[in-house]
């Protein structure tokens, strides 16, 4: 009997199914982070602090350039889940083929933009002269692999929408092992420095993308990918853009604030940059675990909207908020408690570790607030609202950080003051999203559409 990887999100207990969905996704996120972590650890240990700073200085800029397109995969997730929940096979098939075609187009656009803009943008960020050449080289090689990065993101969004978070985990496990082995081989054996770790990342991403495509090609029904049918269906693309573009714009503009913060960190020198890079990488493991809950909420809410199971919406949100708070506190405080040992993996320089601990103390103790903020966004997007949470996030989080940099940080020029902008923005924005959810929820019935129909027909069961 063929194993089913799908999850019925529209009936039965919520907590167990959410955990079944989120745990493999958490592990997948951790493995995906290991791509970058392996780069940073290998260059930090075997190529020195300058190479560590060079790789780290590109992360916020890479996110800035790709987030707009990765955001479209949110639209794919919502649309696939909705059609799947409503059992609309033809609509589902059109969405899948449009999504994969869009991912390839996005990837080739990013090759041109990323390779061409790497040098000018890194210089605009104030990247120090002692690391700029390595930063540009790493970024250009990384962007050469953008089509497969987009393929993986859009393909895994399709699988997540039906509750399949296990197979992407298996694929990333294979790719992660390849990435780490190639990192060590290219840097230690061939002395390729940042070029070696970038090349290893691209090769491993080719593997994970290829496995996801193979999975979709071998699927059945509306999920099955036919290469001859690849193409853009205008109606589906518009629907994907309607939900995904605001999510992508939010991610891109968020990255602008993070680029400004990275530029502010750069002003403290390459040692502070290295410590910030190592700490941010550790935080990434906490964030990706919390982000898995956001993804779960997005898929569960979308499927239940498609299946008209409105009575489950509030329950899904409450359970997700409980899970994300527990996850953020346990992992965040755990990362803080083991901070020095974890930072020591990235660099043996005491100054680098000291700068890293400064960031961990402020971010990790309050990181659960970021998880709550994102989880509330997941409910709103799953209900079909994408512009509203984008506007709130950009005003409450991104806007506040930019203002903070040019006012509070300008007056009190220290890394502590800079990092405090994060928890302040998370708290205010989460509260605003909570108010928005309360208002938007009133537009949907409290009871399931099927239950309402039965009662009106006089056959209440």
pLDDT of residue 85: 84
Half-sphere exposure of 7 (CA within 13 A, CB side): 27
Give the pLDDT score at 335: 93
The answer to whether residue 107 scores a pLDDT higher than 70 is: yes
The residue written with tokens 């998370």 in the block is 426
Residue 53 lies in a domain: yes
Question: Between residues 39 and 23, which one has the greater pLDDT?
Answer: 23
Give the CA radius of gyration of the chain: 22
The yes-or-no verdict on residue 269 having pLDDT over 70 is yes
| CA 429 from centre of chain | 18
Structure confidence at residue 314 (pLDDT): 94
Within a domain: residue 457? Answer: no
Residue 461 pLDDT: 32
Q: What is the 3-state secondary structure (H, E, C) of 231-244?
A: CCCHHHHHHHHHHH
**% of the chain beyond a pLDDT of 70:** 95
Domain that holds residue 421: 14-440
Contact 404, 257 (CB under 8 A): no
Q: What is the mean pLDDT of residues 378-399?
A: 88
Q: Quick check: is 357 in a domain?
A: yes
CA 114-107-217 angle, to 5 degrees, is 160
CB neighbourhood size of 238 (10 A): 11
Domain count of the chain? 1
Question: Tens of pLDDT along 124-138?
Answer: 888 888 889 999 999
What integer is the mean pLDDT of 165-174? 88
pLDDT in tens, 392-442: 988 887 888 888 988 998 899 899 999 999 999 999 999 999 999 999 999
CA–CA dist 418, 424 (Å, integer):
11
Is the residue at 97 inside a domain? Answer: yes
- Confidence label for 4 from pLDDT (cuts 50, 70 and 90): low
Orientation of helix 234-266 relative to helix 59-85, angle to 10° = 150
Estimate the crossing angle of helix 270-306 against helix 234-266, to 10 degrees.
Answer: 160
> Within a domain: residue 75?
yes
User: In this predicted model, which residue has the larger pLDDT, 327 or 453?
Assistant: 327
In-domain check, residue 451: no
Judged against a pLDDT cut of 80, whether residue 450 lies above it is answered with no
Flag whether pLDDT at 218 surpasses 80: yes
Residue 444: Cβ-neighbour burial (10 angstroms; 0-12, 13-18, 19+): middle
**How many whole angstroms separate alpha carbon 156 and alpha carbon 77?**
9
Task: Evaluate whether residue 109 is within a structural domain.
Answer: yes
Q: List, as one string, the DSSP characters of 363-385.
A: HTTTHHHHHHHHHHHHHHHHTT-
What φ, ψ does residue 219 adopt, rounded to 5°?
Answer: -70, 175
Report the alpha-carbon distance of residue 176 to residue 178 in Å, rounded. 5
Which SS3 state, helix, strand or coil, does residue 230 take? coil
| Predicted pLDDT at 3 | 56
Which of these ranges, 29-33, 201-205, 441-445, has the smallest mean pLDDT? 29-33
Provide the mean pLDDT of the chain. 87
Q: What is the pLDDT of residue 36?
A: 66
CA distances from 335 to 189, 332, 396 (A): 32, 5, 27
Query: Is the separation of the CB atoms in 366 and 410 below 8 Å?
Result: no
Give the pTM. 0.78
- Asked, for residue 7, whether it belongs to a domain, the answer is no
What gap in Å lies between CA 91 and CA 169, rounded to an integer?
A: 27
């Amino acid at each position: 009997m063929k194993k089913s990887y799908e999850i019925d999100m529209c009936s039965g207990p919520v907590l167990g199914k959410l955990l079944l969905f989120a745990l493999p996704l958490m592990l997948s996120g951790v493995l995906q982070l290991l791509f970058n972590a392996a780069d940073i650890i290998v260059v930090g240990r075997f190529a020195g602090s300058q190479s560590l700073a060079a790789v780290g200085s590109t992360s916020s800029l890479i996110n800035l350039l790709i987030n707009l397109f990765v955001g479209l995969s949110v639209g794919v997730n919502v649309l696939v889940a909705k059609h799947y929940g409503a059992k609309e096979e033809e609509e589902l098939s059109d969405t899948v083929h449009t999504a994969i075609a869009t991912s390839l187009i996005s990837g080739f656009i990013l090759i041109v933009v990323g390779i061409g803009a790497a040098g000018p943008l890194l210089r605009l960020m104030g990247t120090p002269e002692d690391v700029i050449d390595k930063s540009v080289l790493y970024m250009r090689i990384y962007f050469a692999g953008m089509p497969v990065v987009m393929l993986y993101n859009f393909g895994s969004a399709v699988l997540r929408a039906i509750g399949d978070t296990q197979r992407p985990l298996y694929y990333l496990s294979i790719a992660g092992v390849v990435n780490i082995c190639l990192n060590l081989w290219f840097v230690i054996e061939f002395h390729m420095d940042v070029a070696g770790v970038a090349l290893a990342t691209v090769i491993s991403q080719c593997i994970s993308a290829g496995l996801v495509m193979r999975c979709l090609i071998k699927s059945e029904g509306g999920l099955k990918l036919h290469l001859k049918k690849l193409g853009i269906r205008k109606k589906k693309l518009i629907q994907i853009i309607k939900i995904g573009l605001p999510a992508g714009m939010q991610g891109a503009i968020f990255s602008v604030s993070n680029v400004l913060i990275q530029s502010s960190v750069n002003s403290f020198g390459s040692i502070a940059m290295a410590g910030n890079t190592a700490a941010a990488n550790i935080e990434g493991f906490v964030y990706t675990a919390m982000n898995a809950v956001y993804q779960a909420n997005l898929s569960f809410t979308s499927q239940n909207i498609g299946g008209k199971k409105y009575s489950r919406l509030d329950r899904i949100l409450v359970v997700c908020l409980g899970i994300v708070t527990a996850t953020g506190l346990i992992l965040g405080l755990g990362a803080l408690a083991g901070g020095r040992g974890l930072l020591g993996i990235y660099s043996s320089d005491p100054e680098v570790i000291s700068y890293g601990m400064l960031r961990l103390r402020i971010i990790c103790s309050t990181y659960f607030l970021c998880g709550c903020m994102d989880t509330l966004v997941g409910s709103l997007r799953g209900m079909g609202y994408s512009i509203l949470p984008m506007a709130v996030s950009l005003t409450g989080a991104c806007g506040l950080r930019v203002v903070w940099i040019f006012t509070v940080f300008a007056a009190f020029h220290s890394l502590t003051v800079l990092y405090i902008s994060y928890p302040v923005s998370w708290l205010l924005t989460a509260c605003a999203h909570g108010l928005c959810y309360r208002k938007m929820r009133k537009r949907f019935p409290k009871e399931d559409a099927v239950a309402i129909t039965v009662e009106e027909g006089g056959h209440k069961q």
